[in-house]
């Protein structure tokens, strides 16, 4: 599954928008309210056609409140249209203001594609790769889905479990905790009984957690990882990776839990959908569409610098739609190319209800320069910037008079009260101020 082209008509804040996407990481940068999440929601609506009418509980339709407002009222309709080479066709969904109903008659191409995948689930020995489809909203860490009995993990549902609540904004951490705890106990019980058995889904999840901790914490490759339920803590799930970190998962920081649950969820879903594959084969073979709103959520800048590269490594053939406010992520976003030097990953800048694809790379650039461009944010407090600007104007003016130089020294004193002596700007200011003093 992949979205190659997206077209929006009167969807949320977009009157008309057309976008071409790359097959890897599509990274969106823009200020609050610029429409980043709207694009992710539109992608979710487009990809939801995969589930067709038979899997209606997995659908994501256009909501009435997503019709654009113009002149104080909603326009007559809103449309999300998509094209995919993998699906081999175009499809669209439209909601009409008067009926509040979604028109689904133009979804045939994607419904047929999804129908073929779901039919493969009916035969145990059918090993057609099922695509990963999932949305991670900004609510993913703190808001768990209220899952009914019909929507809980069900071993009898087989591969379908990989699509459980996949396009909802709420997380399924409760499902994951319950499944992981039971899977670990089941494996331990079989080991005691000397029953030879392999749970590839569990092994893949554990291996992904291991890779995640190595990548983000720089742990040695042979570190000891233990995942278990602790009876003395109401069977809470524990993750132990060294002597100092043997805690319930709920006790770790928000940033740690955010990235761990993200990885567990993706690999668990991908493995449920394709349970015969080990993690290496899964990474190499699975495709799909994953949307992540604010991937930097709760992450320390050191982890922000590593998150995109880990996703590229873990699921290199999955198409990601990701938003961020972090210049650290932009500075560490290495855009891959295919054998024909076409971009696999790319950056988009959003402003004034428009989206611009950035042709140049910001990989490795100074974060302060990225704050200025493309993020259009000040790298320092306005007062400091104004003082530095005034200082540079005096220092660079060959016609400056004694009174100007007195002001320059006054500015230097103000800046020294604000900035530490190790700041690059204050070092330069003090060098110039010293030359001025010596010349007087």
From CA 276, how far away is CA 260, in angstroms rounded? 23
Task: Dump pLDDT digits (tens) for 262-276.
Answer: 999 999 999 999 999
- How many C-beta neighbours within 10 Å does residue 273 have? 25
What percentage of the chain exceeds 90 in pLDDT? Answer: 66
CA–CA–CA angle 168, 142, 322 (5° rounding): 55
Q: What is the mean pLDDT of the chain?
A: 90
The pLDDT, as a whole number, for residue 149 is: 47
**Residue 17 three-state SS:** strand
Mean pLDDT of 352-372: 84
Task: Dump pLDDT digits (tens) for 43-53.
Answer: 999 999 999 86
Q: Is residue 187 over pLDDT 90?
A: no
Task: Dump pLDDT digits (tens) for 379-422.
Answer: 888 899 999 999 999 999 988 888 899 999 999 999 999 999 99
Cα separations (Å) of 216 from 142, 153, 219, 277, 290? 22, 30, 8, 25, 21
From CA 124, how far away is CA 159, in angstroms rounded? 10
Task: Dump pLDDT digits (tens) for 309-351.
Answer: 999 999 999 999 999 999 999 999 999 988 888 899 999 999 8
**Residue 375 three-state SS:** coil
**Residue 9 three-state SS:** strand
Q: Model's pTM, two decimal places?
A: 0.87
From CA 340, how far away is CA 273, in angstroms rounded? 31
Domain locations along the chain: 1-120+326-377, 382-439
Which tokens go with 310?
A: 């880990």
The pLDDT, as a whole number, for residue 144 is: 65
Identify whether the C-beta of residue 92 lies closer than 8 Å to the C-beta of residue 37.
no
Alpha-carbon dihedral sign for residues 374, 380, 386, 389: negative
What percentage of the chain exceeds 70 in pLDDT? Answer: 98
CATH code assigned to 1-120+326-377: 3.40.50
Mean pLDDT of 246-263: 91
């Amino acid at each position: 599954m992949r979205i190659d082209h997206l077209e929006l008509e009167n969807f949320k804040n977009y009157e008309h928008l057309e976008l071409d996407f790359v097959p890897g990481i599509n990274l969106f940068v823009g200020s609050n309210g610029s429409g980043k999440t709207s694009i992710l929601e539109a992608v979710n609506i487009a990809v939801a056609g995969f589930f067709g009418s038979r899997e209606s509980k997995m659908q994501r339709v256009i909501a009435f409140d997503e019709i654009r407002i113009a002149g104080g009222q909603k326009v007559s309709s809103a449309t999300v249209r998509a094209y995919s080479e993998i699906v081999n066709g175009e499809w669209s969904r439209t909601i009409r203001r008067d009926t509040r109903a979604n028109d689904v008659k133009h979804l045939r191409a994607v419904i047929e594609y999804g129908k073929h995948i779901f039919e493969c689930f009916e035969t145990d020995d059918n090993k057609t790769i099922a695509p990963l489809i999932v949305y991670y909203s900004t609510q993913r860490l703190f808001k768990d889905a209220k899952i009914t009995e019909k929507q809980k993990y069900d071993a009898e549902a087989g591969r379908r479990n990989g699509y459980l609540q996949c396009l909802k904004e709420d997380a399924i951490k409760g499902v994951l905790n319950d499944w992981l705890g039971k899977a670990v106990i089941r494996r331990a019980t079989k080991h005691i009984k000397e029953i030879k058995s392999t749970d590839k889904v569990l092994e893949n999840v554990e291996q992904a957690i291991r890779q995640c901790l190595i990548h983000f914490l720089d742990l040695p490759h042979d570190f000891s990882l233990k995942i278990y339920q602790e009876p003395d803590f109401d069977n809470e799930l524990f993750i132990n990776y060294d002597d100092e970190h043997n805690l319930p998962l709920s006790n770790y920081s928000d940033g740690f839990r955010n990235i761990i649950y993200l990885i567990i969820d993706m690999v668990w879903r991908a493995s449920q959908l394709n349970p015969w594959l080990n993690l290496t084969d899964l990474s190499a073979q699975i495709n799909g569409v994953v949307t992540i709103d604010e991937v930097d959520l709760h992450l320390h800048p050191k982890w922000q610098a590593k998150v995109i590269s880990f996703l590229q490594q873990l699921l290199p053939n999955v198409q990601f739609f990701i938003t961020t406010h972090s210049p650290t992520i932009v500075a560490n976003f290495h855009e891959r190319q295919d054998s024909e030097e076409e971009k696999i990953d790319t950056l988009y800048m959003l402003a004034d209800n428009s989206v611009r694809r950035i042709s140049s790379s910001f990989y490795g650039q100074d974060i302060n320069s990225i704050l200025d461009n493309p993020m259009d944010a000040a790298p320092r407090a306005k007062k400091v910037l104004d003082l530095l600007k005034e200082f540079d104007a005096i220092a660079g003016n060959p016609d400056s008079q004694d009174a100007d130089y007195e002001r320059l020294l006054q500015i230097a004193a103000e800046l020294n009260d604000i900035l530490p002596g190790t700041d690059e700007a204050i070092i330069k200011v003090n060098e110039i101020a010293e030359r001025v003093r010596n010349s007087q």
